[in-house]
Amino acid sequence: MATNNSVVIFGASGNVGKFAVPALLKAGAKVTLVTRKGSKTTFQYKNATVVTADYSSQSELISIIRGHKSVISLLSVKALSLQRNLINAAIKAQATLFIPSEFSHNTTNKNMTSLLPVLGVKTKIIKYLQEREKDRLNWTGIITALFFNWGLPQGNFGFDLKAGKATIWDGGNASFSAANLDDISAAIVKVITDSSARERYKNQHVYVSSVQTTQNEILAAAEEVTGKKFKVAQFDSEEAFAYTTKPLPPGYSPQLLAVLAALQLSKRGLSNYQARVNAGHNRSIN
Ligand SMILES: NC(=O)c1ccc[n+]([C@@H]2O[C@H](COP(=O)([O-])OP(=O)(O)OC[C@H]3O[C@@H](n4cnc5c(N)ncnc54)[C@H](OP(=O)(O)O)[C@@H]3O)[C@@H](O)[C@H]2O)c1
């Protein structure tokens, strides 16, 4: 019989998994980690079961998931469509919760998905999950905007902290939300291990936000901490949004990164989840 906190995780070796798996193990979850056939991944966790699967084989997926209550997909953006196979197998194996590989901008906002096609792929997976609710598989989607502590040092918020340079979008006063990987992991732990949170957030999105800030606030903090005056370039987000009227090249092209940043930082305010705080969606969901 599946214990309440038993969970299978696909794609656990990536950026999100490196934080979420230790958090789940620490919380006492019974964890099975799945890598794709041919993967070079090795895990060092003492208390997790590790298996390899051919993601196109329903029988393999069903036998791996059987005996677990929950399934988490942390699959890469390159493999999002494979989640349909995981969902079908989860239903057959009688899992009751599926957390899809969302963890990004607000896919419930049509403006977002029309601007960035990869978000549309995520939306299609949510639609599929909604269609399958009748099969007693619930889902919870976790929306985070850009990862703050992961993205800030690598320039995703417009700052080159080492070089003391900043690219400020639309004047820098647009307020946005962003989540740290520890808080995202805490939200995952909550819906996996806490039965009342699991019930409260079933078949809907959860909005996790560690910070509510603006680029100008980050600039002031960065200058104070480093003691350097940053070299600032101003940028008009409409230039980046213009990329979205042409087909984007595949992969993490410079254009794609610019559109991701524009969705986060522009005056359109597409990543401002402040209004969700009153509904219990916050740094720590309750
Ligand atoms: N908001 C943000 O700032 C932000 C940043 C990063 C990611 N994300 C989102 O978080 C989610 C997870 O992303 P991530 O960066 O953690 O993932 P990732 O590191 O790109 O990939 C996770 C794992 O997916 C598996 N994988 C890769 N290609 C595959 C393929 N073709 N077929 C099957 N499995 C494949 C690999 O695992 P194995 O080799 O072990 O099988 C890989 O380690 C995505 O939805 C992504 O959009 C958001």
pLDDT digits (tens, 9 = 90+) for 136-177: 999 999 999 999 999 999 999 999 999 999 999 999 999 999
Domain ranges of the chain: 3-146+179-207, 148-176+212-275
Binding-site residues, ligand 1, Cβ < 6 A: 11, 13-17, 35-36, 39, 41, 55, 74-79, 82, 101, 103-104, 144, 146-147, 151
279 pLDDT tier (thresholds 50, 70, 90)? low
Q: How far is the CA of 17 from the centre of ligand 1 (A)?
A: 9
Q: Note the CATH number of domain 3-146+179-207.
A: 3.40.50.720
Return d(Cα 12, Cα 167) in angstroms, integer.
Answer: 33
227 pLDDT tier (thresholds 50, 70, 90)? very high
Could you tell me the CA-to-CA distances from 45 to 9, 21, 23, 33 in Å, in that order? 13, 9, 12, 10
61-74 mean pLDDT: 98
23-52 mean pLDDT: 97
Instruction: Look at residue 49 and tell me whether its pLDDT is greater than 80.
Output: yes
pLDDT digits (tens, 9 = 90+) for 173-216: 999 999 999 999 999 999 999 999 999 999 999 999 999 999 99
By CB atoms closer than 10 A (0-12, 13-18, 19+), residue 186 is buried
Instruction: Look at residue 1 and tell me whether its pLDDT is greater than 60.
Output: no
Instruction: Look at residue 239 and tell me whether its pLDDT is greater than 70.
Output: yes
Task: Say which CATH topology domain 148-176+212-275 has.
Answer: UDP-galactose 4-epimerase; domain 1 (3.90.25)
Closest CA to 148 of 280, 281, 264: 264
Ligand 1 mutation pick, 21, 45, 99, 103, max ligand atoms within 8 A of CB: 103
What pLDDT, on the 0 to 100 scale, is given for residue 17?
98
Could you give the percent of the chain with pLDDT greater than 90?
A: 80
Q: How far is the CA of 157 from the centre of ligand 1 (A)?
A: 20
24 pLDDT tier (thresholds 50, 70, 90)? very high
What phi, psi does 241 have (nearest 5°)? Answer: -65, -25
By CB atoms closer than 10 A (0-12, 13-18, 19+), residue 159 is buried
223-229 mean pLDDT: 94
Domains 3-146+179-207 and 148-176+212-275 share a fold: no
From first CA to last CA, the distance across the chain in angstroms is: 28
Q: Which residue has the higher pLDDT, 1 or 75?
A: 75
What pLDDT, on the 0 to 100 scale, is given for residue 115?
82
